[in-house]
């Protein structure tokens, strides 16, 4: 499958390089665009063999899948630029622009519904740079084969989940904003480790590795977080004292309030 990634910035470049590193796609199967050759040169340095161009229309013509990876406020201009080059019978379009709806993409592509390609919105997070993204995908005007193609593509970059478009905002809060929330916990716990006598770099590594292990317990066992907490807390032990102190300071309530504040 040939892929055109229009907008080879941080996220677009991470998608391109991640797909090549996964081994599922060859570098020559992917073409990336950017407004300047400086951006494209950085990408070529990171991912040898990948094709690049500043011509969006030329990039689209040979692609099976088109990824719109520009900033949200540039998406309409890009769609209107390429729409006459899109073959709806052969091509699918995936937008990763936050806040740009499927209805808007349809409108920008034109009024002829019969000429609209399969449309998708995908919301990855920054862990896509290390092929560990939690990506949410919503579809319109698509069949099962094309949906599976898009899910498989983002599945090479972490985990991909098909959801209704109305769930994308919640998914973004939990998984995209959630990266920052998780890292803020790592920072706070590492600072606590320093106060307890652990060198800063070592404390950060310990907390990050522990967070990774905690996540794997849930993902591999499919258990409830409280069940795993029960495995750690013993009557009169130090873990329950620490948890109770955190809850007294409003830990769970603060997390929920932070999530709701993102809406």
In this prediction, residue 115 carries a pLDDT of: 59
Percent of the chain with pLDDT over 70: 98
Q: What is the mean pLDDT of residues 69-75?
A: 96
In this prediction, residue 112 carries a pLDDT of: 63
pLDDT in tens, 93-150: 999 999 999 999 999 998 665 557 899 999 999 999 999 999 999 999 778 999 999 9
For the domain covering 171-261, report its CATH number: 1.10.3730.10
Q: What is the mean pLDDT of residues 43-57?
A: 93
- Largest interatomic CA distance in the chain: 69
Say how far apart CA 236 and CA 21 lie, in whole Å: 48
Say how far apart CA 3 and CA 153 lie, in whole Å: 10
- Contact predicate 65/153, CB 8 Å: yes
In this prediction, residue 142 carries a pLDDT of: 78
pLDDT in tens, 1-21: 999 999 999 999 999 999 999
In this prediction, residue 116 carries a pLDDT of: 72
Cβ neighbours for 113, distance < 8 A, ≥ 6 positions apart = 106
Cβ neighbours for 18, distance < 8 A, ≥ 6 positions apart = 128, 129, 131, 156, 157
Residue intervals in the chain for CATH 3.40.50.720 = 3-163
| Nearest partner of 72 among 39, 110, 101, 31, judged by Cα | 101
Say how far apart CA 12 and CA 35 lie, in whole Å: 13
Q: Compute how many other C-beta atoms are within 10 angstroms of the C-beta atom of residue 169.
A: 15
* Res 28 pLDDT > 60: yes
Say how far apart CA 222 and CA 214 lie, in whole Å: 12
Q: What is the mean pLDDT of residues 145-168?
A: 96
Name the pTM for this structure: 0.92
What burial class does residue 77 get, using C-beta atoms within 10 Å of its C-beta: 0-12 exposed, 13-18 middle, 19+ buried? exposed
140 has which bridge partners?
119
Strand extents, DSSP E, 44-114: 51-53, 65-68, 92-95
In this prediction, residue 117 carries a pLDDT of: 85
- Contact predicate 98/262, CB 8 Å: no
Which stretch of DSSP H or E encloses residue 157? none
On the CB side of 124, CA atoms within 13 Å amount to 30
Q: What is the mean pLDDT of residues 245-258?
A: 97
Say how far apart CA 139 and CA 65 lie, in whole Å: 14
Residue intervals in the chain for CATH 1.10.3730.10 = 171-261
In this prediction, residue 179 carries a pLDDT of: 96
Which structure tokens are listed for 60? 């689209």
Q: Which CATH superfamily is 3-163 part of?
A: NAD(P)-binding Rossmann-like Domain (3.40.50.720)
Q: What is the mean pLDDT of residues 218-237?
A: 96
* Res 248 pLDDT > 70: yes
């Amino acid at each position: 499958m040939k892929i055109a990634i229009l907008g080879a910035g941080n996220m677009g470049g991470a998608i391109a390089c991640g797909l090549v590193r996964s081994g599922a796609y060859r570098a020559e199967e992917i073409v990336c665009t950017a407004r300047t050759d400086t951006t494209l040169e950085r990408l070529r340095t990171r991912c040898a063999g990948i094709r690049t161009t500043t011509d969006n229309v030329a990039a689209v013509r040979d692609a099976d899948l088109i990824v719109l990876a520009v900033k949200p406020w540039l998406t309409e201009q890009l769609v209107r630029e390429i729409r006459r080059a899109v073959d709806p019978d052969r091509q699918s379009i995936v937008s990763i622009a936050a806040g740009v709806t499927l209805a808007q993409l349809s409108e920008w592509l034109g009024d002829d519904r019969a000429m609209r390609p399969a449309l998708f919105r995908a919301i990855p997070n920054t862990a896509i740079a290390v092929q560990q993204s939690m990506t949410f995908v919503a579809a319109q005007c698509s069949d099962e084969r094309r949906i599976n193609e898009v899910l498989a593509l983002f599945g090479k970059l972490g985990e991909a989940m098909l959801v209704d478009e109305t769930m994308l905002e919640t998914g973004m809060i939990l998984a995209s904003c959630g990266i920052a929330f998780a890292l803020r916990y790592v920072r706070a716990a590492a600072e606590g480790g320093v106060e307890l006598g652990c060198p800063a770099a070592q404390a950060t590594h310990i907390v990050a590795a522990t967070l990774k292990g905690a996540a794997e317990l849930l993902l591999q066992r499919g258990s409830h977080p409280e069940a795993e907490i029960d495995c750690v807390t013993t009557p009169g032990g130090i873990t329950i004292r620490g948890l109770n102190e955190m809850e007294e300071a409003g830990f769970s309530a603060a997390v929920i309030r932070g999530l709701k504040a993102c809406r």
